[in-house]
Amino acid sequence: MRRALIAIAALAVALPAHAQSVEQRIAAYKHRVDLLEDQNAIEDLQATYGYYFDKGLWNQAASLFAPGGTFEYGQRGVYIGQAHIQRAMLLFGPQGLAAGHLNNHMLLQAVITVADDGLSAKARWQGMVMLSRPGQNGVWGVGVYENAYVRQKGVWKISKLHFYVTAETDYDAGWLKSAIPMQGPSALFPPDKPPTEVYRAFPGVYIPPFDYKHPVTGKSLSDIPEPPDDVVGRK
């Protein structure tokens, strides 16, 4: 039904409003409202993921993923499917936030692009991170999410979550004195695939590829060159 409407809507968009029949206009406007609602649903979905992840609600967080969905955090590798994702999250602490832990992953600055068929979407998010564990110094972190979503039977789910760590530092020391490297793949709960991209966190620099086109020029942003990195071996 939705597909048929979209076809009508696509046809209608090409015509000026007053050259269209009332039915064509209603179909076109319904499609535009659908896309607005989809964007809001995705914003809510990702924000909800954040609230679950903060508090160690791994079972709830993992349930937001589509079957075959992927989870990739820093250089830990790729976990595929809800069961493996939930296990990967145990590397951040036990189910239910442990005493004295802080696992805040604040999500902001969403740039959400819903596909015109309303069945998939992509989004870039800014991730601010505040961590602590008993007996350890607090940690400030920051990174970028490049995520993908899929709509199945009317419900939006996460099909890909990829958090690129930009930097992590000791809360008291700051960037000039402390740069915490990312963790690699776990030996305890190994990932299904190695990291999709190899890069370093601060002091290294890396540009998580942009999923969206330039909003003014319409040009792709995929040809922006990555900065060289002697350690990683990127020229």
Contact residues toward another protein (CB under 8 A) are 17-18, 22, 25-26, 29, 32-33, 36, 39, 108-111, 124, 126, 128, 140, 142, 144, 166-167, 174-176, 202-207, 210, 212, 214-217, 221, 224-225, 227, 229
Closest CB to another protein among 120 and 126? 126
Q: Which helix (H) or strand (E) holds 82?
A: helix 82-89
Closest CB to another protein among 58 and 149? 149
| Strands 155-170, 65-73: pairing kind | parallel
Closest CB to another protein among 134 and 225? 225
Closest Cα partner for 193 from 160, 151, 146, 154? 160
Q: Which helix (H) or strand (E) holds 158?
A: strand 155-170
Closest CB to another protein among 124 and 151? 124
| Residue 107 to residue 17: CA distance in whole angstroms | 38
Amino acid at position 81, single letter: G
Task: In angstroms, give the least distance from the CB of 175 to another protein.
Answer: 5
Q: Which helix (H) or strand (E) holds 219?
A: none
Closest CB to another protein among 59 and 220? 220
Task: In angstroms, give the least distance from the CB of 167 to another protein.
Answer: 5
Q: Is residue 190 reached through a cis peptide bond, with omega within 30 degrees of 0 on the bond before it?
A: no
Task: In angstroms, give the least distance from the CB of 57 to another protein.
Answer: 24
Closest CB to another protein among 21 and 152? 21
Closest Cα partner for 72 from 59, 84, 57? 84
| Residue 103 to residue 129: CA distance in whole angstroms | 8
Q: Which helix (H) or strand (E) holds 47?
A: helix 22-54
| Residue 140 to residue 138: CA distance in whole angstroms | 7
Task: In angstroms, give the least distance from the CB of 92 to another protein.
Answer: 21
Task: Enumerate the β-bridge partners of residue 105.
Answer: 129
Task: In angstroms, give the least distance from the CB of 121 to another protein.
Answer: 13
